[in-house]
Structure 1
Amino acid sequence: MYTEAPARPPHGEQPPGLLARVADLAVRRRRAVVAGWIAVLVAVVALGTLAGGTYHVDYATPGSESKAASDTLAASFGGRSDDTVDVVWRAQAGATTPAVQARVDRVLARAEQLPGLTRGAAVADAELAPDGRTGVVRVPLDRLPDSVPVSTGEALAELAHDASGTGLQVAVAGGINGLTTENESASELVGIAVAVLVLLLTFGGMVAAGLPLLTALFGIGVSAMLGGLLAAVLDTPDWAAQVAIMIGLGVGIDYALLILTRYRAATDAGRDAHSAVIEAMTTAGRSVLVAGATVVVSLLGLFLMGLPYLYGVALASSIAVLVVLAASLTLLPALIAFAGPRVDSLRIPGSRRRSVAPVDVDATPAARWARAVQRRPLTAAVLSVVVLLAMTLPVAGMRFGFPDAGNDPSGSTTRTAYDLLAGGFGPGANGPLLAVASVGGEPAGGATKLAALRRELRADPDVAGVGRVVLDARQSTALLVVTPKTSPQDERTKQLIDRLRDGPLASAGLPVDLGGQTAATVDQGEVTAQRLPLFIGAVIGLSFLLLLAAFRAPVIALKAGAMNLLSIGAAYGVVALVAEGGWAGQLVGIDSDLPVPPFIPVMMFAILFGLSMDYEVFLMSRIKEERERSGDAASAVVLGVARTAKVITAAAAIMVAVFAAFALSPEVFLKLIGIGLATAILVDATIVRMILVPAVMALLGERSWWTPRWLDRLVPNVALEAPATAGR
């Protein structure tokens, strides 16, 4: 292990700038820094074990009618949820024959003993299909679906399987975990394995490859435990932890890779280890700091959507980014100091040793490519934009909604239940609507109004049936179950919800709220559409201000935002294509046409707009450095592309691998998010950074860096890079 103290700056001077001082301290006090990070990890693991919460969340939309209906149900019917577990059966001899009834009642009697389900359900309460062969008992939950133990779902699936046979088929549907048996996917391990391979190919040695990975894993370990503490004080969905790991792992390896690459370049130029660390931190480290801040700003923009379940996702992901960012800026310099000259040791067989001889960067393939783009900038720009817009086209066919049991794998108990309900009662039976009315202090008059309301609801051509009026114990709240003729994902069902709310329910003479899971999905889609412009505008605006402060060039900041939007549009198009379930979807295990949950495009925008800035900041900061050194905007673009092509390619390959690995997840949310993020990063690092950026910079020339005097006086002087030094 390298322990020799690197040379201090001359005459005891402290390195200028905060990052330089942090790097200097991390190198000189490397043992204390590493020990401090180990102590932090031990402390958060201990605290997380003692005080960590469980992941659960309410997906309802605050202020919506469906949320009001759900709250009224819980208050008036003893904590009853508008979520149910549906026990469905079909018997050729008849759904209510004594033998069948006895077998199904045994299932229901055992089911009501499971945590999360209400008691008292029996075949006597069943809804029967017109042919008399199919029945369903909807057992209300006594808590949010996310809070029902997995063991309950697993036990229900086993009960249904054991009761089936000899002319009876039993299945269970519901939005609780454990009903479907899905193979757990170690997607994080797949992403890490590919990242290790890319790092080994990039650095050629195990020590250099291990430093970025160790830094990222350290940060992920700390942030994962902090995420558990977050779940104890804030409702957080269980998949938020995986999203945070996905983002933290990707950016953590990337940030450390960028800093370590710049460190090795400095040592190649003759710097001692101490000076090389400081140079890496004041150049690549500053770029990493701005890029990380942009990611966090974008993620926190999710709070503008007003959907509480996204708050936990935003905070968990932001914590992951901040922790790995802190690790890259403090732990990594300390680890580099420990490695010292041995950073290139333990080389893999077949790898070429790094040459310290001066390299003619201007003659590299990347430089030749950049010059080729500059010779035909308009053609390159137009073709790039055409390709990106073509990738965006499938967005026109994207359907918003939540996948239901009809999208589950064939043979699963949930898919079987869905098919049985659709076959016996019609597709609308899989998404009943709940009309919750407040009768108040006039039960007699309320009964008349409820009877009239029931008749009006049944008269709608898209209503298959309306259940009997169910009153709570105080006779103050009434519940009517309305069954549409169309499936939950059908556009006609949404139109029915809007029509009922504006028609019979509005004129019932009683306060009536229409709820149920299908109505809740419609409400969330509408709220998302209303708030999306505010969210997008805020994220773009704040990111523009950050880039403006970093580059002091409004054209550069505007260009970055426009190109990020093109990358995100292309990612949306690929997600829409995969969700259609055709050849693209089957590649990742999606074999049916899926609606895209409304929050996925929102989350993708927040994550991608921040992540796309990583390569933008790193590339443009190097171009800015070369321009300030040479004074030639055109050659600066060539040198900037040439000096960053290898590291951006490696960083993008790692991030694409980490994100694409989540396509192996059994959770469709994670599949779509992972595919979208991987697509955007791939597009961003190839079409955008290697073609569109050089082309646009060539078309704009020196005008790219224009800043009006009044703006120059207003913008704070925040230098991304240290002054360029010849030979770097």
Structure 2
Amino acid sequence: MAKLLYRLGRGAAHRAWAVIICWLIVLAAAGGAYAAFHGTLSTSFSIPNTETQQVADSMKQALPQASGGSERIVFTSDSGSFSDAQKTQIAELLGRVDKAEGVTGTVNPFQTADQRAAQAQQLAAAETQLQTAQQQLDAGRTQFDAAQQKLTAAEDQAKAAGVYDAMAAQFQAQQAQLDAQKSKLDDSANQLSTQQEKATAAKSLIEMSQNLRTVSQDGSSAFATVSLEKEAVEMDSSQKQAIRDVIDDTSIPGVQTTYSNGLAFDIGGLGGMEVVGVAVALVVLVFMMRAILPAITPLISSLVGVGVAVIGALALSGKVTMMNVTPMLGLMIGLAVGIDYSLFILNRHRKQLLAGMDKRESIGLAVGTAGNAVVFAGSTVFIALLALNITGIPFLRVMGDVAAVAVLVAVLVAITFTPALLSLMGNHALNKKSRKSIGTPEQAAPVIRPMRTRNAVLRAVIATAVLVVIALPATSMQLGMPTGAQEPTDSVQYKNYKTTDEKFGAGVNGPLMVVATLPQAMSTDEEQIVEAKIGQQLAAQNDVAAVVPAAVSDSRTVIAFQVIPNSGPTDKSTEQLVHDLRDLSPTSDGTTLGVAGQTSMSIDVSQKLADALPSYLIVVVGLSLVILMVVFRSILVPIVATGGFVLSLFAALGATTAVYQWGWLGSVFGVHDPSPLLSFAPTIIIGVLFGLAMDYQLFLVSGMREAYEHGVEARVAVKSGLRMAAPVVRAAAIIMISVFAGFIFSPMNVIRPLGFGLAFGVLFDAFGVRLFIMPALMHLMGKTAWWLPKWLDRILPNVDVEGTSLERTHNVLVSDSAHDPAASHGKGVNPATQ
């Protein structure tokens, strides 16, 4: 591999403009494909075969009129109450919204309130009439009983006087009249009973729904329901924009108008802080290179790579369902690794130029050595991201695939496009001062002595303890999906969410749709009674604020209910309510119940992701052990490295939990309403952080192993490898942290915890584990760190990651380190002169 990359690097340097033009053509082709074939990005986090999705699919068949989406428009009066003129203007606005594409209807909150009041009055009047009818029926039964008793007494007297036979016809006629009267009374009683049962059902339905107000109790706010052909997350962006335009373009004096997150949530773009992250990366590169041209080279390379990968992925959005966060993830990871990979090759090339090596020879050798490590490191990230496919979650698979492609393109750009730029740059890859000292004898390298054992113990214990403490909040980590509460406080969706919470109840922000399938069809007369019976079962559950019948199928076998929880969509009690409602099925009469809606879907998705998380972590940990065992031909080094990855991972999850779920330092990171972590954030963080941890482990420990293989005493080799690789790893980590940190303040609330988790994950892993704990443990293990059973040594392939064989062929090894010859365990050869 090293020799192939060497030839590739030299070829790119020799035909620099051809390589650059080819990449620009690829970039232009990706842009053309995007323009021709791109589709609409999805905002839906749905997963096939979840209980929610199954119920939603059945609703589309049985209840197409109720299977679409539902969003809210909230109106708030500045004066505390709505005037008639304001109510009229609100009705006119809703009429215009009703005509928008994708809208199936709107519900005027004031009309709904009036209708409910009228229904309550009608029910009260009907109850009065039923009471009167019951009194009349009771009076009729009393009269009947008296007449029956009188007739019976007369018959008894006639029998006693012996004249019954003569009067039998008369008695029979009177009895027939009484029987007819009794039949009428029974019919009236049955009719009255049915009417009373219906009235009781109607009263029960009104009572169950009374906590769902469309006008707040203080009269200052009202919310209108907008029914959609499909869920807002599945709507075309242009349709949602058209609805928003109707609302935004209508000004009602004295009334503030906001709409819910489903209508507001759309494809986000880059914010200022992402650019700041890249700017910080540039500052780090300039500080490291002391020159502009080499500093911008990694940035240019990464931008070309991420442009090809992300734009190319977006070109497939017309054929592949792709979430709007997917390209942002590809952008974030592509930028970070693209800068790092180009930097590793550039750094090697600069050292070789300074030593007086020919430009093209140096480029070829840099690609064959550092580029070889880049290819291997990129492969680990690539495999880790592709491993997201094992979760079985479609949107996560696509996210992993796009991010993996971004990493693959970053590697290809680093080993072709970067060498082309370096060729055109010539000796300007060095700053002016360094160019003057090219080829001059270097000062003698300092003698390297191992760290003190006492210091190594302290380093390992203190750093591990700190990371363990930071990781503790991860034990209470909860997963969920974003709501309007996580949006910026000045956004319409945040104001809508908070107003709804305050004025109408937290549960209105997370309604549930319960679908009841009856064992047999009900009649029209039975409808209210059946609805009340099922509704009462639903209302009897803990945390239920209101139950409202929503629709009945044409077959009269399926009824949909809207269930409003007492708590919000991300509360544990709401999640428990979903499980409790599902546990009711089937009921005693054979009715089956299913739960659907965005809140239910979020709960199912979060549970599915939580269930997939342990298996994915096990796969990643196993992969880490195998890869590192092959690379370093050791048992203990992979265990230490993998343990460090797990420690930094949980520290990253702990810090993310503390900030986003607990609200610690919320004002610093823009967390105004703490909530459960984004459900797929831990999975993504595991995949990306694993790859990056392997990168830093590779670049650091390979230098240690190389020194040890060249005869340096084990503990001195640790210090030697650390001295050689630590500066570039520190710079690469700072750049990676800067890029990821720029996304912490992204306009997309979905991407913020990802940026935070990855930024702090790299911080903990690079500076806490790789540069602090790992060298200390390597020192304490000594030569035992490189122990490998002979039988395993024969089985494992020999992977020359650093391209040592290539260096020997070209009789060069760039190093700024030396060691104490007396400390050598082998031939006593100084690696600086090898």
Does structure 2 conserve the Cα–Cα contact (< 8 Å) formed by 1:187 and 1:661?
A: yes
Report the Cα offset of residue 452 of structure 1: 2.3
Q: 1:545 to 1:334 in 2, by over 3 A?
A: same
Deviations 1:121-160 (A, max 9, x none): 4444565358383543322332343434267357537727
Report the Cα offset of residue 643 of structure 1: 0.8
Does structure 2 conserve the Cα–Cα contact (< 8 Å) formed by 1:373 and 1:380?
A: no
Counterpart among 119, 127, 137 of residue 105 in structure 2: 119
Q: 1:681 to 1:176 in 2, by over 3 A?
A: same
1:429 and 2:508 matched? yes
1:379 and 2:467 matched? no
Q: 1:465 to 1:230 in 2, by over 3 A?
A: same
Task: Find the counterpart in structure 2 of residue 189 from structure 1.
Answer: 275
Which residues of 2 match residues 447-466 of structure 1 at below 5 A?
447=527, 450-466=531-547
Q: 1:174 to 1:216 in 2, by over 3 A?
A: closer
Task: Find the counterpart in structure 2 of residue 662 from structure 1.
Answer: 743
Task: Find the counterpart in structure 2 of residue 358 from structure 1.
Answer: 442
* Whole-angstrom distance in 2 between the partners of 1:372 and 1:355: 32
* Whole-angstrom distance in 2 between the partners of 1:690 and 1:22: 32
Task: Find the counterpart in structure 2 of residue 149 from structure 1.
Answer: 237
Report the Cα offset of residue 469 of structure 1: 4.7
1:402 and 2:481 matched? yes
* Whole-angstrom distance in 2 between the partners of 1:132 and 1:585: 32
Report the Cα offset of residue 362 of structure 1: 3.9
Q: 1:137 to 1:506 in 2, by over 3 A?
A: farther
Aligned-pair Cα RMSD in Å: 3.1
Task: Find the counterpart in structure 1 of residue 755 from structure 2.
Answer: 674
Structure 2 residue matching 1:630: 3-state secondary structure: coil
Task: Find the counterpart in structure 2 of residue 52 from structure 1.
Answer: 38
Q: 1:601 to 1:305 in 2, by over 3 A?
A: same
Task: Find the counterpart in structure 2 of residue 12 from structure 1.
Answer: none
1:22 and 2:19 matched? no
Does structure 2 conserve the Cα–Cα contact (< 8 Å) formed by 1:157 and 1:413?
A: no
Structure 2 residue matching 1:512: 3-state secondary structure: strand
Does structure 1 conserve the Cα–Cα contact (< 8 Å) formed by 2:97 and 2:246?
A: no
Task: Find the counterpart in structure 1 of residue 116 from structure 2.
Answer: none
Which residues of 2 match residues 217-232 of structure 1 at below 5 A?
217-232=303-318
Report the Cα offset of residue 183 of structure 1: 9.8
Does structure 2 conserve the Cα–Cα contact (< 8 Å) formed by 1:85 and 1:138?
A: yes
Which residues of 2 match residues 92-491 of structure 1 at below 5 A?
99=85, 101-119=87-105, 121-123=107-109, 124=111, 127-128=213-214, 131=217, 133=219, 135-146=222-233, 147-149=235-237, 152-153=240-241, 155-156=243-244, 159=247, 162=250, 164-166=252-254, 168-177=255-264, 185-344=271-430, 356-362=440-446, 371-372=450-451, 374-410=453-489, 412-439=491-518, 442-444=521-523, 447=527, 450-491=531-572
Report the Cα offset of residue 616 of structure 1: 0.8
Does structure 1 conserve the Cα–Cα contact (< 8 Å) formed by 2:470 and 2:651?
A: yes
Structure 2 residue matching 1:468: 3-state secondary structure: strand
Q: 1:415 to 1:48 in 2, by over 3 A?
A: closer
More off after superposition, 478-487 vs 147-156 = 147-156
1:597 and 2:697 matched? no
More off after superposition, 407-416 vs 36-45 = 407-416
Task: Find the counterpart in structure 2 of residue 40 from structure 1.
Answer: 26
Q: 1:332 to 1:420 in 2, by over 3 A?
A: closer
Structure 1 residue matching 2:226: 3-state secondary structure: strand
**Residue type of the alignment partner of 1:358:** E
Does structure 2 conserve the Cα–Cα contact (< 8 Å) formed by 1:362 and 1:642?
A: no
Does structure 2 conserve the Cα–Cα contact (< 8 Å) formed by 1:421 and 1:429?
A: yes
* Whole-angstrom distance in 2 between the partners of 1:158 and 1:354: 67
Deviations 1:538-582 (A, max 9, x none): 122223322222222232222221111111111112211221474
More off after superposition, 154-163 vs 559-568 = 154-163
Task: Find the counterpart in structure 2 of residue 699 from structure 1.
Answer: 780
- Give unpaired runs (5+ residues) of structure 2: 114-212, 816-834
Structure 2 residue matching 1:55: 3-state secondary structure: coil
* Whole-angstrom distance in 2 between the partners of 1:726 and 1:100: 81
Counterpart among 724, 728, 750 of residue 647 in structure 1: 728
Q: 1:511 to 1:43 in 2, by over 3 A?
A: same
Task: Find the counterpart in structure 2 of residue 608 from structure 1.
Answer: 689
Report the Cα offset of residue 714 of structure 1: 2.2
Report the Cα offset of residue 531 of structure 1: 1.5
- Give unpaired runs (5+ residues) of structure 1: 1-14
Report the Cα offset of residue 261 of structure 1: 0.7
Task: Find the counterpart in structure 2 of residue 568 from structure 1.
Answer: 649
Does structure 2 conserve the Cα–Cα contact (< 8 Å) formed by 1:150 and 1:177?
A: no
Report the Cα offset of residue 222 of structure 1: 0.9
Report the Cα offset of residue 244 of structure 1: 0.9
Deviations 1:510-560 (A, max 9, x none): 332101222112212221222211111112222332222222223222222
Does structure 1 conserve the Cα–Cα contact (< 8 Å) formed by 2:480 and 2:677?
A: yes
Deviations 1:161-194 (A, max 9, x none): 845544x5543213233699x9961333212211
* Whole-angstrom distance in 1 between the partners of 2:561 and 2:721: 67
Does structure 2 conserve the Cα–Cα contact (< 8 Å) formed by 1:497 and 1:519?
A: yes
* Whole-angstrom distance in 2 between the partners of 1:721 and 1:507: 70
Q: 1:656 to 1:709 in 2, by over 3 A?
A: same
Q: 1:311 to 1:80 in 2, by over 3 A?
A: farther
* Whole-angstrom distance in 1 between the partners of 2:514 and 2:310: 41
* Whole-angstrom distance in 2 between the partners of 1:485 and 1:378: 53
**Residue type of the alignment partner of 2:800:** A
More off after superposition, 532-541 vs 474-483 = 474-483
Deviations 1:450-505 (A, max 9, x none): 54221211222421111025113454532100111122222221222111211256
Q: 1:574 to 1:25 in 2, by over 3 A?
A: same
Report the identity percentage: 30
Q: Between Structure 1 and Structure 2, how many residues are aligned?
A: 705
* Whole-angstrom distance in 2 between the partners of 1:412 and 1:213: 33
* Whole-angstrom distance in 2 between the partners of 1:624 and 1:192: 33
TM-score (norm 2): 0.78
* Whole-angstrom distance in 2 between the partners of 1:153 and 1:403: 20
Q: 1:142 to 1:481 in 2, by over 3 A?
A: same
Does structure 2 conserve the Cα–Cα contact (< 8 Å) formed by 1:87 and 1:170?
A: yes
**Residue type of the alignment partner of 1:137:** A
Deviations 1:568-604 (A, max 9, x none): 1111122112214745221122222222121111111
* Whole-angstrom distance in 2 between the partners of 1:96 and 1:475: 40
Structure 2 residue matching 1:329: 3-state secondary structure: helix
1:522 and 2:606 matched? no
